[in-house]
Amino acid sequence: MPCRDSREAPIMARPRRLGGLKRISAILIASFLLGTNVHAMTAQEILEQVDKQSFSNNFRVSLTLKAFKGNKIISSHTLWLMIAKARHGNVNYFLDFQEPKESNGLRFLFLEQAGQEPTAYMYLPATGKTMALAVDDPAADVGGTGLTTEDLQAFFSKAQPEKTVREEPEDGRECYVIKIPIPQSKGERLLWVSKNSFLVLKDQQLDAQGNILRSYNVTKFFKTLLGKEFPWEEEITVPAKGVRITVRQDSAVFGIEIPDEVTDPEKFGTFRWKGWTH
């Protein structure tokens, strides 16, 4: 015996109610559509979500960086990177070089300060001294890796106006595309931010004529034990120099406590964080 939808009898028995349901449905659909338009995310809100998703917790990662010119490796480094979430939502970066041997012990510290320009420091193990670095040159190389201060400080400077350009897929993932003008060069940066996880999947720096100066792409991902997705391997290309840099995360630990000495300009160079216990 064929089954009958249990909703069939009451709908047939009460035709007036059906008309009421139609009106209610129309109102709900209209409200949903209007609400969607009203609450469409702005570029600033999207970047705030990027910051929240990527830097909501302290973490430590071991990185392997290789720079290529053509198929030839021109440099290879391994280092530790720590991200420390500070007060007022500021993000601080600490880098501790392990290899090659001549770079062992070289350290960098980048500090974000509310309402101020970020500051940077380098510790040289050969001299045992710490020196302040200028961060106004975004193309400055970091430790001979091929990475620049701009690569490490992608979310430091948020003063430039941002706007959402469009929405489009990137490597099979739906993304917001955000434009950030660069007044100094009259160029711009384009960010592809995944809509489901708010990760930056692609970052291009363009000159005033629209030529690509530098490009960053996530090529592989991994998932944490909590199911959150993060970049595992990235690639940075500099077309004018014919240079390609690969960045691989060999290990990562999230939600850790980072000692204050790691972000102290007077102590970060010599502090033995590997043996630190709290």
The model's confidence at residue 185, banded by pLDDT at 50, 70 and 90, is: confident
The model's confidence at residue 27, banded by pLDDT at 50, 70 and 90, is: very low
3-state class of 261 per DSSP? helix
Range scoring the smallest mean pLDDT among 49-63, 232-246, 262-276: 49-63
Range scoring the smallest mean pLDDT among 87-91, 118-122, 211-215: 87-91
The model's confidence at residue 218, banded by pLDDT at 50, 70 and 90, is: very high
Scan for tokens 């509310």, then name that residue: 114
Long-range contacts, 101-109 (Cβ 8 Å, 24+): 103/77, 103/143, 103/144, 106/143, 107/268, 107/269, 108/133, 108/142, 108/143, 109/262, 109/263, 109/265, 109/268
Domain spans in the chain, listed from the N-terminal domain onward: 44-275
Q: Which residues pair with 180 in a beta bridge?
A: 189
As a whole number of angstroms, the distance between CA 134 and CA 136 comes to 6
Contact by Cβ (8 Å): 206, 34: no
The one-character DSSP state at 156 is T
Mean pLDDT (the chain, rounded): 78
Scan for tokens 């979430």, then name that residue: 85
* Residue 253 in this model has a pLDDT that exceeds 60: yes
pTM: 0.74
pLDDT of residue 25: 41
Task: Say if residue 259 is preceded by a cis peptide, omega within 30 of 0.
Answer: no
Most confident of 36-40, 45-49, 108-112: 108-112
| pLDDT tens digits, 50-81 | 877 776 678 899 999 999 998 899 999 999 99
The one-character DSSP state at 40 is P
Range scoring the smallest mean pLDDT among 24-33, 133-142, 221-230: 24-33
| pLDDT tens digits, 93-104 | 899 999 999 999
| pLDDT tens digits, 2-18 | 443 333 333 333 334 43
3-state class of 148 per DSSP? strand
The model's confidence at residue 193, banded by pLDDT at 50, 70 and 90, is: very high
Q: Which of 159, 215, 153 is nearest to 189 (CA)?
A: 215
The rounded radius of gyration (Å) of the Cα atoms in the chain is 25
Q: Quickly list DSSP for 74-126.
A: EEEEEEEEEEEE-GGG-EEEEEEEEESGGGTT-EEEEE--TTS--EEEEEETT
pLDDT of residue 223: 80
So what CATH class is 44-275?
A: mainly beta
Neighbours of 158 (CB within 10 A): 12
Residue 202 identity (one-letter amino acid): K
| pLDDT tens digits, 123-154 | 999 999 999 987 766 666 777 777 776 666 55
As a whole number of angstroms, the distance between CA 76 and CA 64 comes to 7
Distance of CA 43 to the CA centre of its chain: 15
